[in-house]
Amino acid sequence: MDTRRQLIADLPKAELHMHIEGSLEPEMMFELAQRNGVDLPYADVEAVRAAYSFDCLQDFLDLYYRGMSVLQTEQDFHDLTWAYLQRCRHDNVVHTEIFFDPQGHTSRGVAFATVFEGIWSALLRGEAELGITSRMILCFLRHLDEEDALRTLDEAEPFLDRIIGVGLDSSEVGHPPSKFQRVFDQAGDRGLKRVAHAGEEGPPEYVREAVEGLRVDRIDHGNRSLEDPALVEALVKMNMPLTVCPQSNLRLAVVKDMAEHPIRRMLELGLHVTVNSDDPAYFGGYVNDNFNALVEAVDLGREEILTLVRNSFEASFLPEVERAVHLAAVDEHATAYQ
């Protein structure tokens, strides 16, 4: 194996941008549809994969919300999460901070507790059996109104001691971060971390709003920040992490070609970028696939790989001591791969 591929495979990594509902592989979609008596508009697994051809974020979201309709019981959410954790083990992802979209489930009659406990029990099992640590981030769907998000935060109240933070996802354009000012303020008052998708399809102004208004700890994606040099300078100065998702960017036409992916430019500008899979079942790969795609397309080098992996731990919500332990392990690998 190419030494860079080997390095990527062997390095312990953290994943910070992964929607658990986006890890629903077509095989499991069919299995759960059968288990729950749900009719799918696809003849077979191949037909599902063939439908995954997107021109933009909304194209993808339409299928993503349809796909999640097979998730109904606590066991379904457990199985989904457990399957993702197996992929983490395969990719040597030792820490993961996963997004979940409660409104995508409560709106179709699945209780918040069903979603939460199913995911949580798998994460506990992941730590006990696989040694993978994790956190949960509750995302608000931005195409819905803020009242719905506020109700969701209230519904989450009994679980907040097991939720590290809140995020903002779904259709970006036309739904600026400022629409969610009150719910993010309330989340902050409750001691929750804050992240938001911004600058994926939306303008640099949305990134500014997320940083200055919502006072986020990380920006998810953030690609379009590059259009605004003053914003880039501000992000560098505050060491704001950007959780970048290369294969998602390609599949959702945020970049035309992987060879044009701005990851190197982002690193050279001093942005605190990380590499993540976003919705791995829909975009063609898990974390290592995303790193390998960059090696292939932009000749990502050894030092760049190491920086991106170090960034993943530095930008995580792990306590300082645990981050230090992971960073020391990365350094050990770095020495071994001189």
Closest CA to 312 of 10, 17, 6, 83: 17
57 binds ligand HPA (CB under 6 A): yes
274 binds ligand HPA (CB under 6 A): no
Nearer to ligand HPA, 59 or 334 (CB): 59
Query: How many Cα atoms sit within 13 Å of 63 on the Cβ side?
Result: 26
User: Minimum distance between the CB of residue 329 and ligand HPA, rounded to whole angstroms?
Assistant: 29
User: Minimum distance between the CB of residue 324 and Zn ion, rounded to whole angstroms?
Assistant: 28
Using CB under 6 A as the binding rule, the residues of this chain from 276 to 295 that contact ligand HPA are 278-279
Closest CA to 135 of 100, 183, 102: 100
Contacts of 36 (CB under 8 A, 6+ apart): 70, 72, 73, 76
User: Minimum distance between the CB of residue 28 and ligand HPA, rounded to whole angstroms?
Assistant: 17
Check: CB of residue 204 under 8 Å from CB of residue 170. no
97 binds Zn ion (CB under 5 A): no
User: Minimum distance between the CB of residue 97 and ligand HPA, rounded to whole angstroms?
Assistant: 14
Q: Is 200 a catalytic residue?
A: yes
Check: CB of residue 18 under 8 Å from CB of residue 317. no
Closest CA to 270 of 299, 227, 315, 240: 240
286 binds, among ligand HPA, Zn ion, none (CB under 5 to 8 A by kind): none
Closest CA to 114 of 146, 151, 149, 68: 68
15 binds ligand HPA (CB under 6 A): no
In one letter, which amino acid is 68?
A: M
278 binds Zn ion (CB under 5 A): yes
Catalytic residue among 25, 200, 201, 209: 200
Closest CA to 17 of 135, 160, 184: 135
> Considering only 71-79, 171-179, 250-258, 278-286, which stretch makes contact with Zn ion by CB under 5 A?
278-286
- As annotated, the binding site includes 17, 19, 197, 278-279
Interacting residue ranges for Zn ion, rule: CB under 5 A:
278
Residues identified as active-site: 200
Interacting residue ranges for ligand HPA, rule: CB under 6 A:
19, 22, 57, 64, 169-170, 197, 200, 248, 278-279
